[in-house]
Structure 1
Amino acid sequence: MKKILCALYPAELVVLLMCFATAFLYALLGIPLRAPLTRYLEQIPAVIEVYPLALFIALVALFAARGYRSRRTSIAITERQILQEYVALYLRPRMILRDLRLLNAVMIMFVAFAQLKHLIPFINGRLYDSYIYAAEQWLFRGVSPTLRLQQVIGLGAAGQMSNAYILFYPVMVTSLIVLIMQRNPKLIHEYATAFTLTWLLGIFMIYALPTLGPCFYAPAEIANIPATRVLKLQQDLWSLKADVEADPHGVKGLYQISGQPSLHLAIAILGAVFLWKFCKPLGVLAWLFVAATLASTIYFGWHYLFDHLTAVVLVILSIALARRIVGYWEKASGT
């Protein structure tokens, strides 16, 4: 058993745990799975497109850095040496296999997470919005953070705020690719493990304290915002929720609404922490994106401030656990 566990990467073990949790909970509750194979297969074309592009960008980056490296070492670096380095770093079968295994683990994780998120109303049907909303109303003297931010930057900024929110998925994928394909093995595994742990621990935090978020609990908060892609997304999520409520044990609908913790902010912070370790300029950009994510999620009423505080706790916990898990795995596997 130990050999089998050591043969798997720590991130793969976390995803395996998510899959077991999914299978167990769905069997226990007698609810049909939400087309997991279809959701997995839908992700494959994106990987087929993105991975070769990432390999090409890595080659361009090596050539672009040649002048800087030559000046730093006072040794001329030839094109042949760059190509040899590129092959050694990126094109060896072992390296490609590691990249694809980790990307595959992330694909499976997203499928499992969607399945687990659908179970929120079945695991814990109680919502805690009233307590959090009332606390923030008291804390901010009757004007919620959502309305306060709308007043400060104006309703005319809705388009820019929508773009900032929609950028989350491209930025997340880019950060994921960059950090998996940089060639520091410890950093790779700590990030991949922390990334998967954030989603796993996040779903259980949601089960413990489920909320809808201000935009669904108090829709008047966003009533004056002009039409944007984000508002359309909120309407679609509410429609899927209605389908589930109309036929809880049917195959139609997918419950995907949750407020606490803000996984958008958690994943943005996680990416910023590790990008800062890998490359300071990228880290600065990532932290700016954290600020944009924080602002956009408040502006559109996706989250309470409480959700963002729990997101920070989630990231700290995920990183700490990832370091311990990867450290144990390295000792056990001799890597």
Structure 2
Amino acid sequence: MLLRWPYTFAVALSVAVGGAAIYYSQTLNVGLKDPEGFLGPAYIRLPMIALLIFAAGIVPQSVHRYGLKKSLPGMVTILRTEWNLRRVGHVATGMLAFYICYVSYRNLKSYLPELRQGESGQQLLYDKEFLQLDNLLFFGNVPAEVLHNLLGTTIMAQVLAILYVAYLPIVPITVGAVLVLVRDYSVGAWYATAISLNWVIGTISYYLLPTLGPAFYQPQSFYDLPENGASALQMSLVRGAFNFKEDPQGGAIYGIAGFASLHVSVVFTAALFLHYVGAARWIRAVGWTYLGFTLLATIYLGWHYIADDIGGLLIGWAAVAIGAVVTGNAKWQKRRKAAAEADAEAEEARAAAASPSAAPEPAP
């Protein structure tokens, strides 16, 4: 029964990555930290998001069904008939698994300077090799500088910065929205599992090929950009990195890592998921468009090398594929389930036809 629960893998994954974060925290004598974000710490932010999305879903639904005057008792009716403890438990499990994987990812990412050091004792980095690959792919040019010349460095810089930073609230909001609004528990588990896998696989990629990213390794290529939300975030990460290296036991968290791009992987996961579940056309269009702008912004603003984005796309694809299998949403699993249900219905029909009670009564 446990193996058939759609959250079995997500819970096991969160326990494993959470255990790894605790282990290295104890080994390095660096306390676990809950990264701050908009609306405060994640343990406050995520429940707030879930409650807001819940309200945003149930209120218009009640008004539509029962009218404005009867919307309040209508909400009570919807709660009583459509929201049982099982459904609430699935939503809470998905949010909790996502939260544990995310916080563990941020802490494991913060341990990079301590765990990935070269022979000199300095942090091991592969930026030089990634930069050379970028120059090779762009025929001796820096990709970001080519984009700056092509797109300009005024309006486009601000637009891409806004879209890039918008990712921070968008991720937990989409997780909450899918868990709360989609009534198929396995589909909600699929998305929560896929996003959680991004954090875990992304962390592994950071340790396999640690890099800083173009804006941190070669900042002179981005001096022509005006101040924007992305550059403010980059400076915040630089300050956090310096503070962490000076005092790893302090309150700072190290957050600089290039390969692979989790911005790209998570947005690709969302777009691919929306495509597979057959979301409304305009929603899918928004997802794919946002992915395109995200890919552009990572290079233009100096967050990532081209290889980082390719790695992000691979992680996003793997997360969706693995998430589908472990929650029973792969195409072959659905076909097998549909075939089993059809066989069961056919067997019931045959049994009913063969039953004596099904035989016609003799004419008088």
Q: Is TM > 0.5 for Structure 1 vs Structure 2?
A: yes
Q: Please name the residue that 1:31 is paired with.
A: 29
- Cα gap change, 1:38/1:229 in structure 2, threshold over 3 Å: closer, same or farther? closer
Q: Please name the residue that 1:294 is paired with.
A: 295
- Cα gap change, 1:37/1:242 in structure 2, threshold over 3 Å: closer, same or farther? closer
Q: Please name the residue that 2:264 is paired with.
A: 265
- One-letter identity of the residue aligned with 1:123: L
Q: Please name the residue that 1:111 is paired with.
A: 103
Q: Please name the residue that 2:214 is paired with.
A: 214
Matched, 1:130 2:113: no
Contact 1:165/1:293, CA 8 A, preserved across alignment: yes
Give the SS at the match of 2:31: coil
Structure 1 residue 270, shift from structure 2 partner: 0.7
The TM-score, its normalising length taken from structure 2, stands at 0.77
Of 124, 137, 140, the residue aligned with 2:138 is 140
Q: Which has the larger radius of gyration?
A: 2
- One-letter identity of the residue aligned with 1:133: L
- Cα gap change, 1:8/1:136 in structure 2, threshold over 3 Å: closer, same or farther? closer
Distance between the aligned counterparts of 1:161 and 1:8, measured in 2? 36
Equivalence map 1:55-70=2 (5 Å): 55-60=54-59, 62=61
Select between 57-66 and 306-315 the one with higher mean Cα deviation: 57-66
Deviations 1:54-97 (A, max 9, x none): 1222235646887xxxxxxxxxxxx99998566533x2222122
Distance between the aligned counterparts of 1:226 and 1:37, measured in 2? 27
Structure 1 residue 26, shift from structure 2 partner: 2.7
Distance between the aligned counterparts of 1:84 and 1:169, measured in 2? 35
Q: Please name the residue that 2:11 is paired with.
A: 12
Contact 2:6/2:186, CA 8 A, preserved across alignment: no
Structure 1 residue 283, shift from structure 2 partner: 1.6
Contact 2:25/2:31, CA 8 A, preserved across alignment: yes
Structure 1 residue 318, shift from structure 2 partner: 1.7
Q: Please name the residue that 1:321 is paired with.
A: 322
Matched, 1:225 2:225: yes
Give the unaligned 5+ runs of structure 2.
66-70, 118-123, 334-364
Matched, 1:154 2:152: yes
Q: Please name the residue that 1:88 is paired with.
A: 81
Distance between the aligned counterparts of 1:268 and 1:111, measured in 2? 19
Distance between the aligned counterparts of 2:55 and 2:317, measured in 1? 34
Contact 1:34/1:115, CA 8 A, preserved across alignment: yes
Deviations 1:290-326 (A, max 9, x none): 1121122211100011101001111122222223322
Contact 1:241/1:256, CA 8 A, preserved across alignment: yes
Contact 2:165/2:230, CA 8 A, preserved across alignment: yes
Deviations 1:144-191 (A, max 9, x none): 221111111110122111111111122222221222121122211111
Distance between the aligned counterparts of 1:82 and 1:278, measured in 2? 28
Select between 294-303 and 141-150 the one with higher mean Cα deviation: 141-150
Distance between the aligned counterparts of 1:4 and 1:186, measured in 2? 13
Contact 2:50/2:177, CA 8 A, preserved across alignment: no
Q: Please name the residue that 1:70 is paired with.
A: none
Distance between the aligned counterparts of 2:36 and 2:44, measured in 1? 12
Give the SS at the match of 2:257: coil
- Cα gap change, 1:88/1:289 in structure 2, threshold over 3 Å: closer, same or farther? farther
Give the SS at the match of 2:29: coil
- Cα gap change, 1:104/1:299 in structure 2, threshold over 3 Å: closer, same or farther? same
Contact 2:272/2:320, CA 8 A, preserved across alignment: no
Q: Please name the residue that 1:193 is paired with.
A: 193
Deviations 1:3-30 (A, max 9, x none): 69969643222111111111222333x3
Contact 1:34/1:254, CA 8 A, preserved across alignment: no
- Cα gap change, 1:59/1:293 in structure 2, threshold over 3 Å: closer, same or farther? same
Contact 1:33/1:115, CA 8 A, preserved across alignment: no
Distance between the aligned counterparts of 1:102 and 1:186, measured in 2? 10
Higher relative contact order (CA 8 A, sep 6+): 1
Aligned residue pairs: how many? 313
Q: Please name the residue that 2:342 is paired with.
A: none
Distance between the aligned counterparts of 1:131 and 1:38, measured in 2? 33
Q: Please name the residue that 1:54 is paired with.
A: 53
Q: Please name the residue that 1:71 is paired with.
A: none
Give the SS at the match of 1:155: coil
Matched, 1:236 2:239: no
More helix by share: 1
Q: Please name the residue that 1:183 is paired with.
A: 183
Distance between the aligned counterparts of 1:13 and 1:48, measured in 2? 21
The TM-score, its normalising length taken from structure 1, stands at 0.83
Structure 1 residue 50, shift from structure 2 partner: 2.4
Identity of aligned residues (%): 22
